Chains A and B, each alone.
Chain A
């Protein structure tokens, strides 16, 4: 999952970005001002956007309005120092999905961002199920049937993204965009290796392949059973 963080306070941005990378293993892009923020958000490759309200250039509300004006439905979490109801109502009515008032709890921020990412993909529960494959996003564990599968962090992130989009063809570019921050192109060659490893670990003794490779088009998580959500 890839998150855009627009925050002008450098130290706060560093901390939030580190927490998101270390905790749920998200890729994080950071913009230090509103104009850069709105540029990056325009790429449309983010699974959630975290916006500070008071920004140089263009404020958080302006970025939000521009995103929603371009029919960008990416979940948006607002960070604000103002907690009065009028300000929050304005934010939510402008299209924000959630908000946190400063100073916030880092754990709460991570939980909210994860919830927003889930919701953005149409999933309600932190435990994802596709066929007999189950992923607990809180413990970051994966089971197929009764068998527990050990995954590397990158493998886990690849699977997490695919499990959020079961039976949909996900191109290599899309996968790269959502797994890595702006320098994703450096990872282009390794993604295939990660996918190959992931496939081996998932399938093990099973006959049915879990991840299909569609040459030139991308990858698809496909399991014989209907996904249960």
Chain B
């Protein structure tokens, strides 16, 4: 795909608009100029024709005729004129007009293209020797002997006067050319100005892009500059970007932590097994020593197996957690699952002297697979038993709420420190790692519970007071089969 530049596009649009404006303005100017100039031209023609009329004088002969007094010679050389008396006698004409052409123009004034009548004259275009002229025909009256009684004799004369039209056109063209060049100049100027202004105006955008391009998996630092956050259009983008990056960073770090913790757990597990075996082979031992050594190694192996098993369980639970919408298609009776778990854990509870008390609404069903619910219940109950002193009872409460089923596992054990509470559901998080190791904890149990509960569309929360006990509350949607 071709690179798309906002700056270039804006400038091009701007220039096209300006060009259109220039064309329209030039067109209007041309029209206006032409009209004005021709108006002035007509007036000038008329004026010259009138001055020609002024040069018609009494000839002073018997017939009381008129003649030109010679002042007509002062008129411009490239103009045409013809003065004729009422009897058709030509009183005078300009030298650059042949008599024949002049006569034709005189006799057929109306035959020319588009004669116009105004200012008391008739205007029409004529072409003489290839040069376009505009002519005016004016009828005038010259009084002969105005001192005599009766006011003298009126002699009518016809005056034709023409001037080359090319000069007017040239002037109009020059005027329009001037406008056009001005427009081009303004366009160049605005283009340069636009480039500069856009560069300046888009600087925050460029800064934001630069900031964003610095972000990578290794460096999550994203701090939009003051100028970016102060820009109204960019602020939401910068904030959204910051939020997304923060979330990504968090999830990356968590994943990193998980991998690192998992590696630590597994490597430690392998180290235990390996060192147990190497210890056995370090020197000759008795058969009884070998047997007890191998038995210990087997226990080490089993612990490692448990860790691997839980990791896989967690990975699976979290994997399906991501596939939201794929809800459980089965209902399961909570009471039967809890009874099963309590039976299973009875030897452990007995060994530790911890009574497990049940308080359940019977017949409550939740939307879950039995195995999932069993895992959650077993993990929580086992934790409660392990963290309780002998004689302290563990309560499992199951209640039907409106749309949910609530399962609470309460103990009166050692409790969890307030600092650790927000982290208890994180993978491999152990409030007191040494104790957890003694009890065989992997730091994965609660993470598995959370992954499963979230997958079921429920919630899990822990409340705890050090020295008083811990209460874990699980809510799962009720089964509406």
A82 contacts B282, C-beta separation under 8 Å: no
Q: How far is the CB of A140 from chain B (nearest CB, A)?
A: 12
B442 to chain A, nearest CB (A): 12
Contact A9 B282 (CB under 8 A): no
Cβ distance A213 to chain B, nearest Cβ, rounded Å: 35
B residues in contact with A22, CB < 8 Å: 279, 282-283
- Within the complex, the shortest CB–CB distance from A91 to chain B, in Å, comes to 15
Residues of A7-49 at the interface with B, using a CB-CB cut-off of 8 Å, are 8-12, 15-16, 18-19, 22-23, 32-33
- A77 vs B334: C-alpha distance when bound (angstroms): 52
Contact A19 B282 (CB under 8 A): yes
Are the CB atoms of A102 and B268 closer together than 8 Å?
yes
Residues of B within 8 A of A8 (CB): 433-434, 437
Verify if B232 is at the interface (C-beta below 8 Å from A): no
Q: Is A124 an interface residue (CB 8 A)?
A: no
Determine whether B300 belongs to the interface, using a CB cutoff of 8 Å to chain A: yes
**Is B264's beta carbon under 8 Å from chain A?**
yes
Instruction: Verify B279–A106 contact, CB threshold 8 A.
Output: yes
Chain B residues near A82 (CB-CB < 8 A): 260, 263-264
- Tell whether B438 is near chain A: CB-to-CB under 8 Å: yes
In the assembled complex, the CB of B261 is this many whole angstroms from the nearest CB of chain A, namely 9
Chain B residue with Cβ nearest A19: B279
Contacts of B283 in A (CB 8 A): 22
Cα(A37)–Cα(B273), bound, Å: 24
B39 in the interface (beta carbon within 8 A): no
Q: Flag if A81 contacts B282 (CB, 8 Å).
A: no
Is residue A206 within 8 Å, beta carbon to beta carbon, of the partner chain? Answer: no
Q: What chain A residues lie within 8 Å of B437 (beta carbons)?
A: 8-10
Given contacts A19-B279, A81-B263, A102-B267, contact A11 B272 (CB under 8 A): yes
* Any B CB within 8 A of the CB of A122: no
Chain A residue with the shortest CB-CB distance to B264: A81
Picked from B270, B271, B279, the residue with its CB within 8 Å of the CB of A18 is B279
- In the complex the two chains form, is A104's CB within 8 Å of B271's CB? yes
Q: Contact: B264 with A15, CB < 8 Å?
A: no
Q: Once the chains are docked, how many angstroms separate the CA of A102 from the CA of B264?
A: 8
CB contact under 8 A between A103 and B264, given known A8-B433, A33-B434 = no
Report how far A17 CA is from B413 CA in the complex, Å: 33
Q: State in angstroms the CA–CA spacing of A12 and B263 once bound together.
A: 16
A33 to B275, CA, bound (A): 20
Confirm or deny: B286 has a beta carbon within 8 angstroms of a beta carbon on chain A.
no
Q: Give the tally of cross-chain contacts (CB within 8 A).
A: 74
- Is B274 positioned at the interface, with any CB of A under 8 Å from its CB? yes
A102 touches B271 (CB 8 A): yes
Q: Is A146 an interface residue (CB 8 A)?
A: no
Tell me the complex Cα distance, A9–B276, Å.
Answer: 13
Residues of B within 8 A of A9 (CB): 268, 271-272, 437
The reply to whether the CB of B62 lies closer than 8 angstroms to some CB of chain A is no
Task: State in angstroms the CA–CA spacing of A32 and B437 once bound together.
Answer: 10
- Judge whether A123 is part of the interface by a CB distance below 8 angstroms: no
**A210 to B197, alpha carbons, bound, how many Å?**
95
Contacts of A56 in B (CB 8 A): 430, 432-434
CB distance from A156 to the nearest CB of B (A): 16
With the chains together, A158 CA to B113 CA distance in Å? 140
Do the beta carbons of B275 and A12 come within 8 Å of each other? Answer: yes
Contact with A along B424-462 (1 / 0, CB 8 A): 000000101110011000000000000000000000000
**Residue interface mask B270-302, A partner, CB < 8 A = 1:** 111111101100110000000000001000100
**Does A107 make an interface contact (CB < 8 A)?**
yes
Evaluate contact between A11 and B438: CB separation under 8 angstroms: no
Distance in angstroms between the alpha carbons of A9 and B270 in the assembled complex: 12
Whether A54 is near chain B, meaning CB under 8 Å from some CB there, is yes
- Inter-chain contacts of A103 with B (CB < 8 A): 267-268, 270-271, 273-275
Q: How far is the CB of A9 from chain B (nearest CB, A)?
A: 5
CB 8 Å contact bits of B91-135 with A (1 = contact, 0 = none): 000000000000000000000000000000000000000000000
Contacts of A101 in B (CB 8 A): 267
A106 B282 Cβ-Cβ under 8 A: yes
CB-CB < 8 A to A19: which residues of B? 275, 278-279, 282
Distance in Å: Cβ of B433 to nearest Cβ of chain A: 4
CA distance A81 to B428 in the complex (A): 15
Cβ contacts B393-409/A at 8 Å (1 or 0 each): 00000000000000000
Least CB distance, A189 to chain B, in whole angstroms? 30
- The CA-CA distance from A11 to B297 in the complex, in Å, is 10
Contact with B along A163-200 (1 / 0, CB 8 A): 00000000000000000000000000000000000000
The interface centre, meaning the residue of A19, A81, A107 with most chain B CB atoms within 10 A of its CB, is A81
Specify which chain B residues have a CB less than 8 angstroms from the CB of A32 in the assembled complex: 434
- Nearest 7 pairs of A and B residues by beta carbon: A103-B271, A15-B275, A106-B278, A56-B433, A81-B264, A103-B270, A81-B267
5 A-B contacts (beta carbon < 8 Å): A11-B276, A18-B279, A56-B433, A102-B271, A103-B274
Given contacts A10-B438, A102-B264, A103-B267, 10 further A-B contacts (CB under 8 A): A8-B434, A12-B268, A15-B272, A18-B279, A19-B275, A19-B278, A19-B282, A22-B279, A103-B273, A104-B274
> What residues make up the interface of B, taking CB atoms closer than 8 Å to A?
260, 263-264, 267-268, 270-276, 278-279, 282-283, 296, 300, 303, 430, 432-434, 437-438
